[in-house]
Chain A
Amino acid sequence: MEQKQSGTGGSLVAAGLALSLVVLTFSTIYIFFKRTWWFPEPISAFAEAVDRQFDRTLVITGLVFFLAQLALGYVIFRYRDRGGRARYSHGNTVLEILWTSATAVMFIGLGIAAERAWASLHWMGAAPGAMQVEITGKQFAWNFRYPGADGQFGRTDPSLVNDAAGNPVGLDTNDAAAQDDVVTATMAVPVNQEVEVILRAVDVTHSFFVRELRFKQDAVPGMVIRLHFKAEKTGSYEVACAELCGLGHHRMRTVLQVLPEDEFQAWLREQAAE
């Protein structure tokens, strides 16, 4: 019985499996290095911090991936059945403690290193004097509201929401502060200026996602969520919904334009006039 699975058949399978693990390892690592499908260029300091942390993680996990897959490939080829008897061993406590501590230090260290970027976005508020934009998600469009010259957002009321009448966020025009609010379907912000976004949703949960900012935040009904970003490169960036919100989820798209200050002011005046 002991010899029945040994011989060239076993060696061929062992070689084949080891080889496929080698091919898997190198092709995966190659595609990661080649960066054909990759993040777009970052446009904020936060995005750059995320990318740095991503790269650190990639180096560590890449190393573990490389070593583990190749070790697996090595042992299955090296220790294929050649008719002898296996080495009798129940393990090695020193090795066990060694690799447990090594992975603990590595992974937890990585986790702690990641918190700085998170804290800068979530634990600290927007810089004083940041421009405010309210973002409202609804099936299946984004609306943006700028407070206007008074710097105050006016009152809204869900019962006033009416797309046909041009009031997608339910602005209550009886409130004086609401008179100069500007509601738009695309978003624009001035470059190099801190922006505080105030996220809301009128129906179901949506998620505001700008790849270039590495920014994603759900807009949740019943909640008002404040976050901030500072875009440092002008351009036009796509915004897509990232939380399943119904049958039109995939077409809930708009754009974020990052403009020089004067162009932004012109854009805002133009939007207010409409």
Chain B
Amino acid sequence: MAEAHAVAHEAPKGFIRKYIFSLDHKVIGIQYILLALAAVFVGMFLSLLMRLHLVWPNAKLPFFDVMTPEQYLALMTMHGTIMVFFVLTTAPQSGFGNYFLPIQIGAADMAFPTLNMLSFWFTFVSFAVMMAAFFVVGGAPISGWTAYPPLSAVGEIAGPGLGWGQSLWVISIAIFCGASLMGALNFITTTLDLRTKGMSLMRMPLTCWAWFVTAILALLGFAVLLAAGILLLLDRHAGTSFFVPGGLVITEKLIPHKGGSPLLWQHLFWFFGHPEVYIAILPGMGITSHILSTFARKPIFGYRAMVYAIFAIALLGLSVWGHHMFTSGMSPYSAFAFSLLTMSIGVPSAIKTFNWIGTLWGGQIRFTTPMLFAIGFVSLFVSGGLSGIFLAQPAVDLPLHDTYFVVGHFHLIMGVAAIFGMFGATYYWFSKMFGRQMSEFLGKLHFWPTFIGVYCIFMPMHFIGLAGHERRYPDTTAVQYLAALQPVHLFMTIAAIVTIAAQFIFVFNFFWSLWRGKKAEVNPWEATTLEWTVPSPPPHDNFAGRYPAVYRGPYEYGVPGAAKDFTPQHVPDGAGGAGSH
């Protein structure tokens, strides 16, 4: 396969070709990461405003004065949308995956560099369009990140933000789908076609497996969301009625649509929406496996089982979207199938958890910052996963659906666990990407309040959910039983303020280390995979034309009889496991 390495493009000369419209997967990866970093701060700021409003509803907040219910719902919609699409989808896959997939499999670049560049710039435009929704007449949409019609389909008659704001939202999502489809094709092709000599599929790092399977999910999921988005746009602007039934009366006006089905949108949306959970979390699982093995100084426990589990999670993940719809009015018989399939996802998830603990068992664990976040990921994955077992049972879901129990559940597993994966990835790979090491001291200072903080924010949500606290309530005064839950809101808001404050330690560490960090060695963690054989940062074509051959699996730590406790993939048998090349 060595011929495939013929450099697809020359090293660029000017600033614009090098850093803006770059074809280099590494630059594009960093562009995605910086976009996600900007997006996550917007999303986090919105969540802070919401948490403040829930506890002090009459306080004057920046940009909002005293927040109205529609402003709260707009923030909520945009928080969810920004976090799900522009953070959880972009950073772990398009960001870190773009940067490290080609290097870890021994390739010069992604298979389609131009498509890669287009994919990023589509994402960028999509983000700009989404942000524009804040500034148009009526503001951002109030229909939630799930945009259920008819609310999202009939225009501003149903509420503020549902005119221009909602249209921009749909357009932005459609552009984002295009970007994700291009990215998915690129990841799949790269993984299948550009592996270096000796890099069989079963020798790939688990990160590569995770990115590969995530790309397959993205290809199937985003295609459907794109179709749904276009149909919604047609309903809004071309007078079609895919999602709007006849005979609707909104604020005493008869709506001219007829014959559509609101449930059709829910099916299409969740056919994307559930795999999206795995699009967000699978790369984090890959990174966690990678980091745990590195710092436990042990091979991953059950490599093959881990690969099969990723596939099982993805396959099941594609067939369980109906568990979001137990109260929707869909066929109660299909609920039975959706429920059992969903419960089955607990099995490969348990395999992953057991194997992570098995990897640590008997190790010589080095508590670096990336390792702390990887261990945190395992803990959060267990906690967030188990609350899913309640929601997967239709009867038990009834009192919990659309309450804070669900909010706590998906924030732990899809939000925070995935973010821990990203933090782990950042602390682990920063030195490779930027040639300087992040401060370990600041990294640990960042870890502790974050780990404890996220549990203090999201665990109590499960309890107020049990007590029946509906989600998406800007104000808790109209329903009497919510008054007793207000102290819990106060606790969560304080936890959120502390946790958010701690994120500035990360930002400071990130930018300070960029300029002032300790110069990085080639292989500071004494790791085995190919990214640790190239300079930090790697040259334009990664391997300077000398592509490595691979002789073994990715996690050969502590091999008995070897000179060192790590045997890199590229070192031939009998060479004694020396780290040089």
- Which A residues are closer than 8 A to B by beta carbons? 1-2, 5-6, 9-10, 13-14, 16-17, 20-21, 24, 28, 31, 36-40, 49-50, 53-54, 57-58, 60-61, 64-65, 68-69, 71-72, 75-76, 79-93, 95-96, 99-100, 103-104, 107-108, 110-112, 114-115, 117-118, 121-123, 138-139, 158-159, 161-163, 170, 199, 202-205, 207, 209, 211, 214-218, 220-223, 225, 238, 240-251, 253
Contact = CB atoms under 8 A, between A and B. Distances in A.
B298 A107 contact: no
Interface in B11-69: 68-69
Contacts of B296: 79, 86
Contact of B248 (A202, A214, A218): A202
B379 interface: yes
Interface in B215-262: 244-252, 254, 260-262
Which 5 A-B residue pairs are closest in the complex by CB-CB distance?
A222-B245, A122-B332, A87-B362, A91-B302, A114-B393
A1 to B, nearest CB: 6
Interface stretch (B180-188, B337-345, B426-434, B511-519): B337-345
Given A53-B396, A204-B158, 6 more contacts: A37-B467, A57-B393, A72-B357, A76-B360, A199-B329, A238-B479
B401 interface: yes
Contacts, number: 353
A107 B344 contact: yes
A139 B386 contact: no
B171 interface: no
A80 B148 contact: no
B367 A100 contact: no
A244 B343 contact: no
Contacts of B372: 13, 17
Contacts of B451: 20
Given A17-B375, A53-B393, A220-B328, A114 B339 contact: yes
A213 B335 CA distance: 20
A251 to B, nearest CB: 4
Given A86-B296, A115-B336, A96 B302 contact: yes
B198 interface: no
Interface in B261-305: 261-263, 296-303, 305
Interface in B357-376: 357-358, 360-368, 372, 375
B51 to A, nearest CB: 16
Interface of B: 68-70, 73, 142-144, 148, 150-151, 154, 158-160, 244-252, 254, 260-263, 296-303, 305, 327-329, 332-333, 335-336, 339-340, 342-344, 346-347, 350-351, 353-355, 357-358, 360-368, 372, 375, 378-379, 382-383, 386-387, 389-390, 392-396, 398-399, 401-403, 444, 448, 451-452, 455, 459-460, 463-464, 466-468, 470, 472-476, 478-481, 484-485, 488, 526, 557-560, 564-565
Interface of A (DSSP majority class): mixed
Given A31-B463, A203-B150, A244 B245 contact: no
Given A114-B393, A216-B327, A222-B246, A244 B365 contact: no
Given A39-B467, A81-B364, A225-B329, A158 B150 contact: no
B360 A75 contact: yes
Which one of A69, A75, A104 has the greatest number of beta carbons of chain B within 10 Å?
A: A75
B548 to A, nearest CB: 22
Contacts of A247: 68-70, 73, 142, 159-160
8 contacts: A14-B365, A21-B379, A57-B389, A81-B365, A114-B393, A225-B329, A242-B401, A253-B479
B363 A86 contact: yes
B379 A203 contact: no
B361 A75 contact: yes
A244 B350 contact: no
B463 to A, nearest CB: 4
A95 B367 contact: no
A222 B260 contact: yes
A206 to B, nearest CB: 10
Contact of A244 (B73, B357, B452): B73
B250 A204 contact: yes
B298 A86 contact: yes
A89 B463 contact: no
Contacts of B479: 238, 240, 250, 253
